């Protein structure tokens, strides 16, 4: 009869290492699914050809954009945490600069950034200032 490989303690250590390795593998699988899931969400979103917002269109156009985005998100049943990321991808030029400045200020104040926060900030900005994005970009 040939001698057994390993044995006793080394076998246990090997089993423990195996379990730790499987935990790592499970985490990698989970992370891969999350990334793949976001790629699918993004691809689906882009197929709808969502409008962009440059910030030079004026308040009425920006409010229309917000309503269109909300309707699109509701139709596609996107979770709240995905809505902000997808909306920000549609900002261009002055609107993009405005959001960078505003989101930095909000983060610094401890505000959690969500789709609702973006909507509230834009609505306040549109109602209080004309050409809001340009003014915010200069701050």
- For residues 35 and 79, membership in a common domain is answered with no
In terms of residue numbers, what domain contains 72? Answer: 53-139
- For residues 113 and 71, membership in a common domain is answered with yes
Contact indicator for 132, 54 with CB cutoff of 8 Å = no
- For residues 57 and 121, membership in a common domain is answered with yes
- For residues 112 and 85, membership in a common domain is answered with yes
Residue 107's φ and ψ, nearest 5 degrees, are -60, -45
- For residues 104 and 138, membership in a common domain is answered with yes
Q: Percent of the chain scored above 70 by pLDDT?
A: 64
Number of structural domains in the chain: 2
Residue 8 has pLDDT above 70, yes or no: no
For 64-67, the CB contacts below 8 A with 24+ separation are 65/90, 66/119, 66/122, 66/123
- For residues 34 and 70, membership in a common domain is answered with no
Alpha helices in 48-130 (DSSP H): 59-76, 80-89, 93-108, 115-128
pLDDT of residue 138: 46
- For residues 85 and 139, membership in a common domain is answered with yes
pLDDT of residue 11: 47
- For residues 121 and 59, membership in a common domain is answered with yes
Residue 135 has pLDDT above 90, yes or no: no
- For residues 19 and 82, membership in a common domain is answered with no
Of 10, 26, 47, which residue is a domain's last?
A: 47
- Rounded to two decimals, the pTM is 0.65
pLDDT of residue 38: 79
Residue 139 has pLDDT above 50, yes or no: no
- For residues 136 and 95, membership in a common domain is answered with yes
For residue 29, name the pLDDT band (cuts at 50, 70, 90).
low
Centre a 10 Å sphere on the Cβ of residue 66 and count the other Cβ atoms it contains: 18
Of 32, 47, 62, which residue is a domain's last?
A: 47
């Amino acid at each position: 009869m040939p001698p057994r490989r390993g044995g006793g303690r080394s076998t246990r250590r090997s089993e423990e290492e195996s379990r730790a390795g499987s935990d790592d593998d499970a985490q990698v699988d989970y992370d891969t699914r999350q990334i793949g899931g976001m790629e699918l969400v993004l691809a689906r979103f882009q197929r709808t050809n969502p409008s962009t917002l440059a910030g030079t269109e004026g308040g009425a156009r920006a409010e229309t954009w917000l309503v269109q985005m909300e309707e699109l998100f509701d139709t596609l049943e996107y979770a709240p945490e995905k809505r902000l990321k997808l909306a920000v991808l549609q900002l261009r030029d002055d609107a993009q600069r405005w959001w960078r400045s505003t989101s930095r200020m909000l983060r610094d104040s401890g505000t959690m950034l969500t789709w609702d926060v973006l909507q509230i900030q834009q609505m306040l900005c549109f109602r209080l200032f004309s050409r809001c994005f340009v003014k915010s970009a200069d701050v």
